[in-house]
């Protein structure tokens, strides 16, 4: 159901409010550049820093921008929190606003056992008809979702995919040996290796700034043009590394600011990247022909 390049969209802020003008501009950028799906309120979208009311407003705004799009672009919302009750509350908001699916992170800080994870995700799945993408990101949550746990959860009809951001191609291979759940890369530099062992696409940070290229890489792989996919992967590699030079989404917001799409504002406790990192990002954008040197 979900494949190709799904952008993990940033949430633009201005004066500590959601910048709806910039948000609309970003959506049109992705419509015009062949993004296959849009995820709002993920880690890159600073989900932990937006309120329930803001989540609703973001969904409404994006849906409005996509309404007249000539091609279907699924809209996903990150509704996972570190509690089951909080996740249910956000999931109901997403359901009421008509998203096409939800992304559920493993509850962070609480670090549930595999048994707790199964109970948590099963409870959410019982109370929504929305397609669910599990989100395994140990670097954010402090715990890895084991392949056996994912395989168990894949038996639930509306748990349809997993975003794998554990930095391990072995994990993708292990999941694929156990079940046929859709696997989406959550690590941009590992998207091509993950595609090679059975992933269907990527939920991408890099696609925020080069959506057409990430989409072409995924398409090339699925069409069997592995040489072109490898070329695009290598072209993206250095740029992608710069987007993780500090905590995500600080670098990608700096890049989008340099490209003229957003103010670059973040909400505390996130802050702007330090000057040396900003300079490295700027040089990477110039090398990729995304900005001209005089812009900075």
Q: Which residues are catalytic?
A: 135, 163
The answer, yes or no, to whether the previous bond of 245 is cis (omega within 30 of 0) is no
State phi, psi for 167 to the nearest 5 degrees.
Answer: 75, 20
Positive or negative, the CA dihedral 249, 254, 256, 260 is positive
Q: Which helix (H) or strand (E) holds 228?
A: helix 226-242
- Measured from the Cβ of residue 164, the count of other Cβ atoms closer than 10 Å reads 28
CB 186 within 8 A of CB 136: yes
Contact status, residue 75 vs residue 99, Cβ threshold 8 Å: yes
The Cα–Cα gap between 182 and 179 comes to: 9
Phi, psi of 276 (to 5 degrees): -65, -40
Taking a C-beta distance cutoff of 8 angstroms, is the pair 4, 219 a contact? yes
């Amino acid at each position: 159901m979900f494949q190709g390049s799904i952008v993990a969209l940033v949430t633009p802020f201005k004066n500590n409010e959601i910048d709806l003008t910039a948000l609309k501009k970003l959506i049109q950028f992705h419509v015009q550049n062949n993004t296959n799906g849009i995820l709002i309120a993920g880690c890159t979208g600073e989900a932990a820093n937006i309120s329930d009311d803001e989540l609703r407003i973001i969904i409404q705004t994006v849906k409005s921008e996509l309404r007249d799009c000539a091609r279907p672009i699924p809209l996903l919302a990150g509704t996972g929190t570190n509690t089951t009750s909080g996740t249910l509350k956000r999931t109901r908001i997403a359901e009421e606003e008509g998203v096409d699916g939800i992304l559920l992170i493993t509850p962070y800080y609480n670090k549930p056992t595999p048994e707790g994870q199964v109970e948590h995700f099963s409870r959410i799945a019982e109370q929504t008809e929305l397609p669910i993408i599990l989100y395994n990101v140990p670097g954010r949550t402090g715990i890895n979702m084991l392949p056996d746990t994912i395989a168990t959860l894949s038996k639930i009809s509306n748990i349809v995919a997993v975003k794998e951001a554990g930095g391990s191609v072995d994990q993708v291979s292990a999941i694929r040996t156990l079940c046929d759940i859709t696997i989406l890369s959550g690590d941009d530099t590992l998207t091509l290796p993950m595609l090679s062992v059975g992933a269907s696409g990527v939920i991408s940070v890099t696609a925020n700034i080069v959506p057409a290229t990430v989409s072409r890489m995924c398409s090339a792989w699925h069409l069997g043009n592995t040489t072109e996919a490898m070329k695009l992967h290598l072209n993206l590699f250095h740029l992608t590394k710069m987007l993780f030079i500090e905590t995500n989404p600080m670098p990608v917001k700096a890049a989008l600011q340099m490209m003229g799409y957003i103010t670059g504002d973040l909400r505390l406790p996130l802050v702007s990247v330090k000057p040396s990192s900003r300079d490295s990002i700027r040089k990477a954008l110039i090398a990729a022909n995304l900005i001209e040197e005089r812009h900075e």
